[in-house]
Structure 1
Amino acid sequence: MFTPARYIVLDDEATELATLVDALHVLGAPCVGIRFDPHELHRPDLFTGLRVLFSDLRLVKAQPAGVQHYSTLATVLDRCVPESHGPYLLVLWTSHENERAALAQRLEELLPASKRPIAVLGLDKVQFRHGVTWDAVRLREAIRARVGSTPQLQALLNWERDVLAAANETLAIIGGLVPDDQRAIAQFPGALDRVLSLVAIASAGSANAPNDRKGAVTAALAPLLSDRISNRPQDPEANALWEQAVTFPQGQELQAAQKARMNRMVHLAVPPAEPVSRLDWGAIVPLGDAQLSDDAMYARFGVTADHLRDREFKLRPERRTEGQLVVVRGGAACDQAQSQSGPVPLLLGLLVPSTALSQNKRSPAVHVCEEKFELDGYQEPVSLLIHARFSTSMVAQELQAWPAATLRLREQLLTMILVHVASHAMRPGTLRF
């Protein structure tokens, strides 16, 4: 219910902490203050939304100056900054450039790359203090100037702000579907329940919506949210900022591992973050030992698993045992959404390290997805191959005895695969002399 704070103030003195937090609140910053206690490392959950951290350099006054202060702050960041965290800025209360540089170097040495700040900046407290109060206006301008010195971070912060605004507009659209005559306090929750229920049914069908209510509503709201994000009002100041932040420098393209990570996020739903059922449209279900036996493979596909690896998918001979044979739940999206009766259509595929594929030409029936993926259990990017000629089907009860689904293809990639399969099946044959 509560959005994590994007600005955090860390200090060991309660008075200093309170006055700075008050000053940031005056600016409208979603800020939380944390009083440093050397005997109790702080709750990591407070840092999940961190974008700018203001910290005193000397969190333990009894420590001698220098490395121990730097190590103390590094310990806090190592414990509290999440492993998968976006970029954040560290603003240090110091007027001494040598201290700022020494801390930055120490953080490079002690912190894993995923937890390091994008930059360490320095601000002198004396410039913004009038007795026990802070000059909020001067502080705001100084913060803007410091953050503006890293336009890439400033652009991402503005983009994050746009996402929050778009989410608010999307909620307003849903709330606006409640008729005016049902907006009394006593009636509004029930009326909103009806709206959300109808939206879920429209998205996932009346049979499936109750099985994943949040997922059904999310699937309906996601296009609205995406539209609001993509079509924000034009802002000359924001446009100028993005021109500074994204300059298309000459150099290498994204590395293979970076591409694989992006493809995973864009095209795959991965449990447990996103639950996946065997019957979901696009679900990827591995073949287990029972399904891979020669007898079972002959009965279902007319060939063995070794034949598929060697002759159809064409792996390198020395790597023919790598990867995993899978089936992908295909068919029409509406059939799955409405839990239509009948066998479940499945496409035979292979998940395998990309370098294990031979250069030999494959049948036109085999679709090798251009996207390569980062997957758990593999040391290198993974390719997905789909064979249009080896499809099968089974009733839902039989599929439930197979291994659990490990992934789900999102709609864009799944649709491309289904187009390939349909095009191959419908290719015309002509008689020529």
Structure 2
Amino acid sequence: MFTPARYVIVDDNPDELKQLSDCMQKIGAPCLPLRYDQAEGIETKHLGGVRLLFLDLHLTTGAQSGSIAQTAGLIVSMLEEGIVATAGPYVIILWTKHQEQKADFEAYVMENLEPLKRPLAILSLDKNNYLAGDAGEKLTNDVGQIIETDPRLRALLDWEREVLRAAGSTLSEIGTLVAKEDRTAARFSERLDEILSLLAFEAVGDANAKADPYSAINAALMPILTDRIANQRTDPKSNAIWQAAVTKIAEVPQPSPGDAAKLNSMLHIARAST
């Protein structure tokens, strides 16, 4: 019923976990803070829809030095279990006091993690810059800047945000069909049922609507949603975001036969969701 968290923080230190979590809240990015327990780990199901994954590099005591394999191996196991390949791209942002180990960590992850579950990029924030005094404002600014470091990630997040806004606008349109006098505890939900039933009936007819109400409502709402996605863009920065992300239009590489087949399938064949 609930949308998986898009911004997730994993740290074993509760104070540092709270510091970064508070910062994300301030910039308007509601996040899910997960304290890593050395005995229990975390509930990896919470990684199923992540876009930005903030990770403390060293989640276990005694893993601060030596080979990166111990700490990176633990994280790779966590990602293998929690990341859903069909949920879309994500980025890891290391939240660490050991910036010097970032390159080794990145190499280990890219070599050992299942390809379809690998992150789009691995970025990092140095904890040492924020632990002394009141560094909240600096951390807030730096998190905002690092999110914008990868133009492709920024563009995809922009598109996803527009789709969510369009979905909200579509639901709002349905809500406006409920008259003011019907917006009571006794009547509001029932009136929505009547409206949805009417939409389903008008979209596909009585028998089909009864057999598959979801598909019927989807057929009714999809044109509204599509219109909103196509025409609602108002952010003046949006075009610049996409200009920075899509740069090879004049020199588009020829796809391999396999890639061409995947593109054609994606564009022309509807697959049942699993």
| TM value normalised by structure 2 | 0.91
> Kindly tell me: are residues 271 and 161 of structure 1, through their superposed partners in 2, closer, same or farther at Cα, counting changes over 3 Å?
closer
The residue that corresponds to 1:117 in the other structure is 119
Point out where structure 1 has 5 or more consecutive residues left out of the alignment. 274-433
Structural mapping, 1:233-248, within 5 Å: 233-248=233-248
The residue that corresponds to 1:142 in the other structure is 142
Structural mapping, 1:391-430, within 5 Å: none
**Residue type of the partner of 2:104?**
A
Tell me the SS of whatever aligns to 1:236.
Answer: coil
2: CA distance between counterparts of 1:38 and 1:118? 27
8 Å CA contact 1:85, 1:115 repeated in 2: no
**Residue type of the partner of 1:257?**
G
The residue that corresponds to 1:91 in the other structure is 93
Structural mapping, 1:222-237, within 5 Å: 222-237=222-237
The residue that corresponds to 1:100 in the other structure is 102
2: CA distance between counterparts of 1:188 and 1:195? 11
Structural mapping, 1:14-93, within 5 Å: 14-63=14-63, 65=65, 66-67=67-68, 68-93=70-95
Q: Kindly name which structure, 1 or 2, has the bigger radius of gyration based on alpha carbons.
A: 1
Percentage of pairs with the same residue: 38
The residue that corresponds to 1:129 in the other structure is 131
Structural mapping, 1:304-315, within 5 Å: none
2: CA distance between counterparts of 1:270 and 1:89? 27
Shift of 1:186: 1.3
Shift of 1:130: 4.6
**Residue type of the partner of 1:114?**
L
The residue that corresponds to 1:376 in the other structure is none
1: CA distance between counterparts of 2:273 and 2:104? 41
2: CA distance between counterparts of 1:272 and 1:157? 22
1: CA distance between counterparts of 2:161 and 2:178? 27
1: CA distance between counterparts of 2:140 and 2:228? 29
The CA deviation string for residues 152-203 of structure 1, in whole angstroms up to 9 with x for no partner, is 1001001111111100000000011112221122110111100000000011
The residue that corresponds to 1:210 in the other structure is 210
The CA deviation string for residues 133-157 of structure 1, in whole angstroms up to 9 with x for no partner, is 650x322321232222210100100
The residue that corresponds to 1:170 in the other structure is 170
Question: Between Structure 1 and Structure 2, which shows a larger proportion of helix residues?
Answer: 2
2: CA distance between counterparts of 1:239 and 1:256? 32
The residue that corresponds to 1:268 in the other structure is 269
Tell me the SS of whatever aligns to 1:93.
Answer: strand
Verify: 1:254 aligned to 2:255, yes or no: yes
The residue that corresponds to 1:180 in the other structure is 180
> Kindly tell me: are residues 206 and 108 of structure 1, through their superposed partners in 2, closer, same or farther at Cα, counting changes over 3 Å?
same
8 Å CA contact 1:44, 1:82 repeated in 2: no
Tell me the SS of whatever aligns to 1:37.
Answer: coil
**Residue type of the partner of 1:188?**
F
| TM value normalised by structure 1 | 0.59
8 Å CA contact 2:162, 2:233 repeated in 1: no
> Larger deviation: 247-256 or 175-184?
247-256
Tell me the SS of whatever aligns to 2:216.
Answer: helix
Shift of 1:10: 0.4
8 Å CA contact 2:44, 2:78 repeated in 1: no
**Residue type of the partner of 1:258?**
D
8 Å CA contact 2:13, 2:35 repeated in 1: yes
Shift of 1:85: 3.2
Shift of 1:95: 5.7
Shift of 1:97: 4.6
Shift of 1:208: 1.1
Shift of 1:210: 0.7
**Residue type of the partner of 1:178?**
V
8 Å CA contact 1:9, 1:17 repeated in 2: yes
Higher relative CO (Cα under 8 Å, sequence separation at least 6) belongs to 2
Tell me the SS of whatever aligns to 2:156.
Answer: helix
The residue that corresponds to 1:308 in the other structure is none
The residue that corresponds to 1:190 in the other structure is 190
8 Å CA contact 1:10, 1:34 repeated in 2: yes
> Larger deviation: 143-152 or 255-264?
255-264
> Kindly tell me: are residues 173 and 268 of structure 1, through their superposed partners in 2, closer, same or farther at Cα, counting changes over 3 Å?
same
Shift of 1:205: 0.4
1: CA distance between counterparts of 2:260 and 2:42? 35
2: CA distance between counterparts of 1:77 and 1:53? 10
Tell me the SS of whatever aligns to 2:92.
Answer: strand
RMSD: 2.0
8 Å CA contact 2:49, 2:83 repeated in 1: no
The CA deviation string for residues 260-284 of structure 1, in whole angstroms up to 9 with x for no partner, is 33333333333464xxxxxxxxxxx
8 Å CA contact 1:20, 1:134 repeated in 2: no
